[in-house]
Amino acid sequence: MKIFCVGRNYAEHAKELKNEIPAEPVIFLKPKSALLLANTPFYYPDFTNELHYEAELVLRISKNGKYIPESQAGHYFNAITVGIDFTARDVQNELKEKSLPWEKAKAWDCSAVVGKWSDLESSMVRKPLNFSLNLNDECVQKGNSRNMIFSFNRIIADISKYFALNIGDLVFTGTPSGVGECVVGDKLCGYFEEEKVFELDIK
């Protein structure tokens, strides 16, 4: 199982981190070990002093494929949820400054959280999908798929030019604006449409 992530897929978020709007999707990967398993506690990592949440819509791949045309990409995923692409922002800034790869900031153990899955019918994909994140019962991020720079289908097509997609792979589709810090004792809750899909305590 592979975990693909898209960076800078919402214009407002690219702006808040002072990044350019990309001309093609920014893709990076997290290893399987990055997935926080169900009923496992999340511990604040000791190598960072600036842990950021990034709430994102996550797709689950349902069909193996490579060189998938954008027009066919909708047949390759069938479930969706909200997840968190946890980022050690201080580590990332340091790596970015030196133009180094950013795995140490984003691909560490348990840095990928996913909520409860919903079936995604093709009719749903055409509608704007809402999601949000609460930090200690206050809404800190609100996203809508209609504000993505690159659509689900474009992302799938683009990833599959470089990497084979396999059943069970996950795709984090980018975070909207509002990313920020969390500390030990905080509680994060993710919502897909109106439904709460995860609740996470930072230990």
Binding site for Zn ion (CB under 5 A): 54, 85, 175
| Separation CA 108–CA 95 (nearest Å) | 14
Residue 170 CB, shortest distance to Zn ion, in Å, is: 12
Residue 91 CB, shortest distance to Zn ion, in Å, is: 14
Residue 123 CB, shortest distance to Zn ion, in Å, is: 27
Residue nearest to Zn ion (CB): 85
**For residues 81 and 175, which CB has a smaller minimum distance to Zn ion in the complex?**
175
Using alpha carbons, list the distances in angstroms from residue 92 to 17, 40, 189.
11, 25, 24
**Residue in the block written with tokens 């899955």:** 117
Residue 61 CB, shortest distance to Zn ion, in Å, is: 18
**For residues 27 and 125, which CB has a smaller minimum distance to Zn ion in the complex?**
27
**For residues 54 and 169, which CB has a smaller minimum distance to Zn ion in the complex?**
54
Using alpha carbons, list the distances in angstroms from residue 140 to 82, 174, 191.
14, 16, 12
Residue 106 CB, shortest distance to Zn ion, in Å, is: 8
**For residues 85 and 158, which CB has a smaller minimum distance to Zn ion in the complex?**
85
**For residues 65 and 131, which CB has a smaller minimum distance to Zn ion in the complex?**
131
| Separation CA 154–CA 27 (nearest Å) | 12
Burial of 121 (0-12, 13-18, 19+ CB in 10 A): exposed
Do the Cβ atoms of 65 and 76 come closer than 8 Å?
Answer: yes
